């Protein structure tokens, strides 16, 4: 590698990737880049040759830091990188036009184009995502997927302090609003200059489609309402999910629940998540089937899963939507004190909702999984009766959202060094084990006694983490995996299907 001008090869990448620019625009682009990085002259911007636009953009960011054009912190770097990579990204109108042109060939061709674009301009943080630790663990419910999330960078304390002093802003209203498209970003808000959103019609309303910057699985995407309004689960939700998989049949789509504790982290904006991944719950089999005479075309069954899941399947969308709506309404009003299940407080506060997931089966039928949720708290379980209980919160204490419901654990990055200390502790090596992990580690020491070795300790710890995640999901299940719990589940189902 040798030193060369950094601006020229980056302009070449812009012309290669962005059809709105032509060779005649080279000088214009050169001056735009020089202004962004704070270079007085193109001859000043030199460095070794890089092969990708992302690497080139980061070299230019490094130059801007050296010039003191920007501060040397992650937020400032991200903002400038996104501005530079926005130049290689076509305008939203062009992206949308090309997407729907390719859609005429096939939905897969359209999403493949948009996904590649979102990776090439570093909106989807491929390099950071690759840092995540992922592995399967066999459990009584099949192989669960464990992810230790290392992709999101730790926040710089100086940056946190600077953000605290920044003037408050309500624009964009949230990170899922359409107004994020092309937004510069700020110290306490992510850079979005390189962000593009596909517009589409969803049952007569304008919605957006984008990929998740820190994807947890293949082609992890988000479908978002053009209107900033709170999430809700109702009949329209089921109709929307089916409309999405009809337009994008190679994707699944699901919604987080719409109540605190059992919902996702962003309840303020109506949205769904989807993608191209087969989750453990999707592979789970039906444990027992039920016949609902009112909806003869709908196959109905309880899924063998740690949470309480009803699976509806069939070719008739209308019957699936109607039956799902009846189940939702019944669940919102159902109580069973024997299982600590309470639909509402005395003041009318609603505790019950559903996490729904839709996909097409290999046979071309529509499938809708309905996961029953209850967000009550109690003196014994102040974080949630149907939430990870205290004895497993050393591994997972956050909300169990859509992705984890389906069997993919998203565990915090803090766990990686903590688990390494647990391994040292198990091997009687010098360690700094966190006190919250000590009872669990002592159990492992007892269970495996003289069997622990340097070669197998990581596998033992990882397998145990997976088994704890299965317990986490059991805690979140409203009808427990006991004979009494499953009998109670059946009572609820019979009440639903016996109703007129």
Mean pLDDT by 10 residues, the chain (500 residues): 79 96 97 94 82 94 95 95 98 98 98 98 96 96 96 61 66 96 95 98 97 96 97 97 98 96 88 97 96 96 98 97 98 97 93 98 95 96 96 95 97 95 97 97 94 96 98 98 97 90
Q: What is the pLDDT at residue 154?
A: 59
Would you say 292 and 323 are in contact if contact means Cβ atoms under 8 Å apart? yes
CA distances from 176 to 180, 236, 270, 274 (A): 7, 20, 9, 15
Q: What is the pLDDT at residue 265?
A: 76
Q: What is the pLDDT at residue 1?
A: 44
Do the strands 352-360 and 252-254 form a parallel or antiparallel pair, or are they unpaired? antiparallel
Q: Which residue has the tokens 């890089």?
A: 50
Task: Write down the domain spans for the chain.
Answer: 3-90
Q: What is the pLDDT at residue 49?
A: 79
pTM (global) more than 0.85: yes
Handedness of CA 30, 31, 33, 39 (dihedral sign): positive
Q: What is the pLDDT at residue 162?
A: 58
* Residues shown for the chain: 500
Q: What is the pLDDT at residue 51?
A: 84
Residue 76 tokens, joined: 């400032």
Would you say 49 and 2 are in contact if contact means Cβ atoms under 8 Å apart? yes
- Which secondary-structure segment (H or E) carries 3? strand 3-5
Sorted by sequence, the CB contacts under 8 Å of residue 215 that are 6+ apart come out as 124, 129, 275
């Amino acid at each position: 590698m040798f030193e060369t001008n950094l601006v020229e090869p980056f302009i070449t990448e812009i012309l290669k990737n962005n059809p709105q620019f032509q060779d005649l625009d080279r000088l214009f682009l050169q001056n735009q880049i020089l202004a962004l990085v704070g270079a007085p002259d193109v001859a000043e911007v030199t460095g070794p040759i890089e092969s990708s636009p992302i690497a080139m953009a980061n070299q230019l960011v490094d130059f801007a830091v050296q010039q003191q054009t920007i501060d040397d912190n992650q937020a400032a770097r991200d903002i400038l990188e996104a501005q530079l990579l926005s130049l290689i990204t076509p305008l939203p109108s062009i992206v949308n036009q090309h997407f729907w042109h390719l859609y005429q060939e096939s939905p897969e061709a359209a999403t493949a184009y948009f996904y590649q674009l979102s990776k090439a301009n570093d909106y989807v943080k491929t390099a950071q995502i690759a840092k995540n630790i992922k592995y399967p663990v066999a459990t009584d419910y099949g192989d669960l997927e464990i992810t230790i999330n290392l992709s999101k960078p730790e926040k710089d304390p100086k940056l946190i302090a600077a953000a605290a002093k920044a003037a408050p802003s309500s624009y964009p209203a949230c990170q899922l609003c359409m107004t994020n498209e092309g937004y510069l970003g700020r110290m306490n808000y992510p850079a979005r200059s390189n962000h593009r959103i596909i517009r589409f019609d969803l049952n007569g309303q304008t919605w957006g489609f984008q990929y998740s910057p820190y994807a947890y699985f293949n082609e992890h995407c988000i479908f978002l309402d053009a209107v900033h309004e709170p999430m809700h689960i109702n009949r329209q939700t089921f109709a929307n999910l089916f409309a999405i998989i009809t337009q994008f049949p190679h994707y699944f789509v699901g919604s987080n629940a719409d109540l605190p504790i059992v919902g996702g982290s962003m309840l303020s904006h109506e949205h769904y998540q989807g993608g191209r991944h087969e989750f453990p719950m999707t592979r789970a089999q039906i444990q027992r089937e039920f016949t609902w005479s009112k909806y003869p075309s709908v196959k109905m069954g309880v899924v063998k899963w740690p949470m309480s899941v009803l699976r509806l399947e069939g070719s008739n969308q209308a019957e699936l939507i109607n039956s799902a709506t009846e189940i939702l309404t019944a669940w919102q009003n159902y109580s069973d004190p024997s299982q600590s299940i309470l639909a509402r407080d005395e003041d009318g506060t609603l505790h019950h909702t559903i996490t729904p997931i839709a996909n097409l089966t290999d046979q071309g039928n529509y499938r809708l999984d309905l996961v029953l949720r209850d967000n009550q708290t109690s003196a014994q379980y102040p974080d949630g009766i149907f939430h990870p209980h205290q004895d497993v919160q050393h591994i997972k204490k956050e909300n169990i959202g859509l992705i984890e419901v389906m069997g993919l654990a998203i565990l915090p990055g803090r766990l990686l060094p903590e688990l390494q200390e647990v391994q040292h502790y198990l091997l009687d090596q010098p360690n700094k084990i966190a006190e919250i992990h000590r009872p669990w580690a002592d159990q492992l020491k007892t269970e495996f006694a003289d069997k622990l070795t340097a070669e197998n300790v990581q596998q033992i710890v990882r397998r145990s983490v997976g088994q704890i995640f299965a317990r986490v999901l059991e805690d979140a299940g409203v009808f427990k995996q006991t004979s009494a719990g499953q009998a109670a589940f059946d009572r609820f189902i019979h009440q639903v299907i016996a109703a007129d």
